[in-house]
Amino acid sequence: MSEHYYSQKPTAQHDVHEIQERLRGRLFTFQTDAGVFSKKGVDYGSRHLIETVELPPAAKVLDVGCGYGPMGLAVAAACPDGHVTMVDINERAVELARTNARRNGIANVRIVQSDLLEAVKEQRFDLIMTNPPIRAGKEVVHRIFAEAYACLQPGGSLWVVIQKKQGAPSAAAKLESIYGEVAEVSKDKGYRILRAIR
Lowest mean pLDDT segment, chosen from 31-35, 113-117, 154-158: 31-35
Residue 159 has pLDDT above 50, yes or no: yes
Determine the average pLDDT of the residues in 53-59. 95
Tell me: pLDDT of 2 over 70: no
pLDDT at 35 over 80: no
Higher pLDDT, 37 or 164: 164
- State the pLDDT at residue 9: 62
Biggest CA-to-CA distance, the chain: 44
pLDDT value of position 29: 97
For residues 114 and 120, the answer to whether their CB atoms sit within 8 Å is: yes
- For the cut 60, the answer to whether the pLDDT of residue 134 exceeds it is yes
SS3 144: helix
Per-residue pLDDT tens for 74-115? 999 999 999 999 999 999 999 999 999 999 999 999 999 999
- Average pLDDT of the residues of the chain: 91
Q: Is the pLDDT of residue 172 over 50?
A: yes
Provide the percentage of residues in the chain whose pLDDT is more than 70: 93
The identity of residue 74, as a single letter, is A
Go through the domains of the chain in sequence order and give each one's CATH number.
16-197 (3.40.50.150)
Nearest CA-CA partner of 146 in 193, 85, 198, 195: 198
DSSP secondary structure letter of residue 167: T
Q: Is 13 exposed, middle or buried (0-12, 13-18, 19+ CB in 10 A)?
A: exposed
pLDDT of residue 154: 97
- Tell me the C-alpha distance between 148 and 1, whole Å: 28
Q: With contact defined as beta carbons under 8 Å apart, do 80 and 196 qualify?
A: no
pLDDT confidence of residue 3: 44
